[in-house]
């Protein structure tokens, strides 16, 4: 019972944050809404018993990635969004498509699936167990992702560095 109530509360916060992200015009507001979403997702993970994942979510996702986002927004001085001519395809095909796909999946899940239920905190999500798994069964992916991060760092540094000669920007479209 408690599980269900907690799930619903934090699920509502999650969805509210997601919708707020869509509704806001200034990117900074969207970024803060995303932080709210991530935080509530961390609580959801805790409800399932995945402690390690929840903590990593807060530290890495909300704490590092979102901070990076906020840094870039402020660096580029992103303002409110202007209304420009959009894409008709995105509106006519995309949004209804997504909604239709989502509704279909939801219908299948509710009506036809034979999934079971989970209890509160059922997962053994201790760091020790996850660490065991990570360094024994998933060692190769672990090492590969570390190289991936290295490449990402180098790429980011190269891409973001100021070029030698300042190329004047092309004529701005109004």
Partner 1 sequence: MTPSLHLWLIPVLPLVGAAINGFFGRRLTRQAVGAVALTFCGAAFAMVLYVAVRFASLGLPHTEFLAHWIRSGDFFVNFEFYLDQLTLVMLLVVTGVGFLIHIYSVGYMSEEGGFYRFFSYLNLFMFFMLTLVLAGNYLQMFIGWEGVGLASYLLIGFWFTKDSAASAGKKAFIVNRIGDFGFLIALFLMIKHFGSLDFGQVFAAASHLSVETVGFGLLTSIGLLLMVGAAGKSAQVPLYVWLPDAMEGPTPVSALIHAATMVTAGVYMVARSHVIFDHAPNALTVVAIVGTLTALFAATIGVAQTDIKKVLAYSTISQLGYMFMACGVAAYSAGIFHLMTHAFFKGLLFLAAGSVIHAVGGEQDMRKMGGLRQFVPVTYLTMGIATLAIAGIPPFAGFFSKDEILFRAYQANPVYWVIGLFTAFLTSFYMFRLLFMTFYGDYRGAADGHDDPHGHANHGHGSPHESPTIMLVPLMILALLSLGGGWIGIGGRFERFLGPVFASGDLSERAAEASHVLEHSLMAMSVATAGLGWYVAWLLYVKRPLLPQRIADSLGGFYEAVVHKYYIDELYATLFVKPLVEGSTSILWHGVDQGVIDAAVNDTAHGATHVSEAARHMQSGNLRSYAGWIAAGGAAVIAYMIWMGVR
Partner 2 sequence: MVPVSYYLILSGVLFACGVIGFLIKRNIITIFMSIELMLNGVNLAFVAFAAQWQHLSGQVFVFFVMVVAAAETAVGLAIIIAVYRTRETLNVDQVNLLKL
46 vs 124: CA distance, rounded Å: 11
- Would you state the structure tokens that stand for residue 174, as one six-digit string? 């109004």
Q: In the bound complex, what is the minimum distance in angstroms from residue 52's beta carbon to partner 1?
A: 32
Residues 3 and 91: their CA atoms lie apart, in Å, by 38
Using alpha carbons, select from 25, 38, 26 the residue that is nearest to residue 66. 38
**Secondary structure element (H or E) that encloses residue 60, with its range:** none
Stretch that binds partner 1, among 7-15, 66-74, 101-109, 162-170 (CB under 8 A): 101-109
Out of 8, 64, 65, 108, the only residue in the binding site for partner 1 (CB under 8 A) is: 108
Residue of the chain from 112, 128, 136, 162 that contacts partner 1 (CB under 8 A): 112
67 binds, among partner 1, partner 2, none (CB under 5 to 8 A by kind): none
Applying CB under 8 A, which part among 45-53, 100-108, 123-131, 164-172 lies near partner 1?
Answer: 100-108
Residue 104 interacts with, from partner 2, partner 1, none (CB under 5-8 Å by kind):
partner 1
Q: Does 91 bind partner 1 (CB under 8 A)?
A: yes
Q: Is 94 in the site for partner 1 (CB under 8 A)?
A: yes
CA distance 123 to 147: 30
d(CA 171, CA 22): 31
Q: How far is the CB of 165 from partner 1 (least distance, A)?
A: 26
- The answer to whether 34 touches 26, Cβ cutoff 8 Å, is no
Which residues are at the interface with partner 1 (CB under 8 A)?
86-98, 100-101, 104-105, 108, 112
């Amino acid at each position: 019972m408690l599980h269900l109530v907690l799930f619903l509360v934090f699920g509502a916060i999650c969805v509210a944050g997601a919708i707020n992200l869509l509704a806001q015009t200034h990117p900074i507001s969207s970024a803060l809404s995303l932080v709210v979403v991530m935080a509530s997702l961390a609580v959801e993970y805790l409800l399932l018993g995945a402690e390690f994942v929840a903590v990593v979510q807060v530290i890495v996702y909300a704490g590092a990635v979102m901070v990076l986002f906020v840094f870039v927004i402020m660096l580029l001085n992103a303002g409110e969004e202007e209304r420009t001519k959009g894409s008709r395809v995105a509106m006519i095909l995309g949004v209804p498509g997504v909604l239709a796909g989502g509704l279909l999946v939801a219908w299948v899940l509710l009506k036809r699936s034979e999934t079971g239920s989970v209890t509160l905190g059922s997962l053994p999500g201790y760091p020790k167990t996850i660490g065991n798994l990570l360094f024994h069964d998933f060692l190769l992916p672990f090492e590969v992702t570390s190289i991936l991060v290295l490449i990402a760092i180098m790429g980011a540094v190269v891409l973001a560095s100021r070029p030698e000669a300042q190329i004047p920007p092309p004529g701005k479209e109004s």
